[in-house]
């Protein structure tokens, strides 16, 4: 693991911590970092750079940099009891709980400014590690293949332009963060399932159960993804894999429940044959699929695109229209929303957060934490 303090000026009060995934998008991350580094040195900016080498490094680095002795928030703080019926609170964090831009919790401690260079998956891994959201400012320079977070936030895919936006024109906004809780979890061992325990996971872009998570799982080890990344067409990875998986993907009966911040619920919605449900904090996932047009990561709620009872041949017509958000005109494609979403299925399906797949489940709850992340862009 490399840790390289560079050009720290005497008396400079602001230090940028760059968390770099050099292998993202088939090595593009490392090349982009060299461009960013050159710009930083030309401008005499104080920074430290931290490189990831394997899965888990980003989470560990973020944890080390944001550790605080004060009360902390992390995904693991949610207990199963909090998510059980009648005991779950979807109340948002108050401004006081989030802290201010001038200091850390309770007005003390320095703000830690993390700037992640990587794809949406790298960002997902980094936010798992944040120990103290109140004193952490978070920025992002996209180097991945899908870049759905950057797409929705209007962040340039040119690394130097993205950097200059942060340095010269950046402003802080309290971004909502999704929290996935597994009521049940399984892992695949050969052809059988083994019940396991999985910690809660945070996400910024989306969480999905079913077909979209299956596509993400396939993409994690796909040669097609690597090939398309090398020719600059990485965003087509998910479409190509999705079309290939249509014939083999399964469906399951499902029940979906939503709840708003005030506690008002929608009541159970039955879906006879659920293909997938995408719980969206932002508008896009999977390299540009606009599954929930108008989804707002600053409104304290999550939007859901649920696809069920759609024949597989018809999905070939529906899926391409999702690039511009035209899929809701088709029968069997539904939209729901709330600050708390619970999805139960008749059989375990794959689940993802920001494209990262860790387990199968037949019972999940997804909660929106209003304004938890101090997003700076």
Question: For residues 202 and 289, what is the distance between their CA atoms, to the nearest angstrom?
Answer: 21
Question: For residues 302 and 319, what is the distance between their CA atoms, to the nearest angstrom?
Answer: 21
In DSSP notation, 180-220 reads: EEESS-EEEETTEEEE-----EEESSEEEEEHHHHHHHHHH
CA dist 365 → 116, 211, 295, 320, 355 (Å): 28, 18, 19, 29, 17
In DSSP notation, 34-77 reads: HHHHHHHHHHT--EEEEE--STTHHHHHHHHHH--SS----GGG
| Beta strands at 172-182 and 192-195: parallel, antiparallel or unpaired | unpaired
For the chain, the domains span 3-176, 178-376
Question: For residues 36 and 30, what is the distance between their CA atoms, to the nearest angstrom?
Answer: 10
Residues whose CB falls within 8 Å of the CB of residue 150, separated by 6 or more in sequence, listed in order: 140, 142, 156, 157, 162
Claim: this prediction has a pTM higher than 0.85:
no
Please report, in angstroms and rounded to a whole number, the separation of the first and last CA atoms in the chain: 27
If we measure between CA atoms, which residue out of 160, 157, 159 comes closest to residue 232?
A: 157
Question: For residues 104 and 89, what is the distance between their CA atoms, to the nearest angstrom?
Answer: 25
107 touches 101 (CB < 8 A): no
CA dist 82 → 85, 102, 218, 266, 314 (Å): 8, 32, 32, 20, 40
DSSP conformational letter for 346: E
Q: What CATH fold (topology level) applies to the domain 178-376?
A: Tumour Suppressor Smad4 (2.60.200)
CATH of 3-176, one of 3.40.50.10330, 3.40.50.10490, 1.20.1730.10, 3.30.465.10: 3.40.50.10330
How does pLDDT run along the chain (377 residues), one tens digit per residue? 333 333 333 334 479 999 999 987 667 889 999 999 999 999 999 999 999 999 999 999 999 999 964 434 444 444 333 433 333 333 333 323 333 333 333 334 689 999 999 999 999 999 999 999 999 999 999 998 789 999 999 999 999 999 999 999 999 999 999 999 999 999 999 889 999 999 999 999 999 999 888 888 887 665 544 554 454 545 556 666 777 677 667 789 999 999 998 888 778 999 999 999 999 999 999 889 999 999 999 999 999 999 998 888 888 889 889 999 999 999 999 999 999 999 999 999 999 999 999 999 999 999 999 999 999 99
């Amino acid at each position: 693991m490399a840790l390289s303090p560079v050009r720290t000026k005497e008396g400079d009060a602001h230090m940028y911590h760059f968390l770099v995934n050099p292998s993202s998008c088939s090595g593009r991350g490392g090349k982009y970092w060299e461009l960013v580094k050159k710009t930083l040195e030309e401008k005499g900016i104080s920074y430290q750079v931290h490189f990831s080498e394997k899965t888990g490094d980003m989470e560990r680095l973020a944890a080390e940099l944001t550790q605080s002795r004060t009360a902390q928030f992390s995904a693991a703080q949610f207990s199963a009891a909090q998510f059980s019926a009648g005991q779950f609170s979807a109340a948002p964090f108050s401004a006081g709980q989030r802290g201010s831009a001038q200091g850390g919790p309770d007005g003390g401690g320095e703000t830690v400014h993390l700037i992640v260079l990587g794809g949406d998956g790298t960002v997902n891994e980094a936010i798992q590690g944040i120990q103290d959201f109140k004193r952490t400012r978070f920025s992002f320079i996209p180097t991945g293949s899908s870049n759905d977070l950057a797409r929705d936030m209007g962040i340039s895919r040119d690394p130097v332009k993205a950097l200059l936006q942060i340095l010269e024109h950046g402003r802080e906004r309290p971004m909502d963060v999704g929290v996935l809780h597994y009521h049940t979890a399984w892992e695949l061992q050969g052809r059988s399932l083994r019940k396991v325990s999985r910690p809660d996971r945070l996400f910024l872009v989306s969480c999905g159960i079913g077909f979209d998570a299956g596509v993400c799982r396939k993409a994690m080890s796909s040669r097609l993804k690597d090939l398309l990344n090398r020719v600059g067409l990485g965003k087509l990875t998910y479409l190509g894999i999705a079309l290939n998986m249509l014939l083999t993907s399964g469906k399951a009966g499902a029940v979906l429940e939503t709840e708003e911040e005030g506690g008002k619920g929608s009541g159970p919605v039955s879906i006879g044959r659920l293909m997938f449900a995408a719980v969206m904090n932002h508008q896009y996932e999977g390299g540009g699929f606009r599954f929930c047009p108008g989804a707002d990561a600053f409104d304290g709620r999550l939007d859901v695109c649920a696809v069920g009872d759609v024949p597989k041949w018809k999905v070939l017509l529906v899926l391409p229209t999702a690039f511009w958000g035209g899929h809701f005109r088709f029968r069997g494609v539904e939209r729901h929303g709330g600050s708390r979403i619970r999805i139960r299925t008749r059989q375990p399906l794959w689940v993802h957060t920001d494209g990262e797949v860790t387990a199968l489940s037949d019972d999940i709850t997804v909660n929106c934490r209003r304004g938890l992340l101090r997003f700076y862009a």
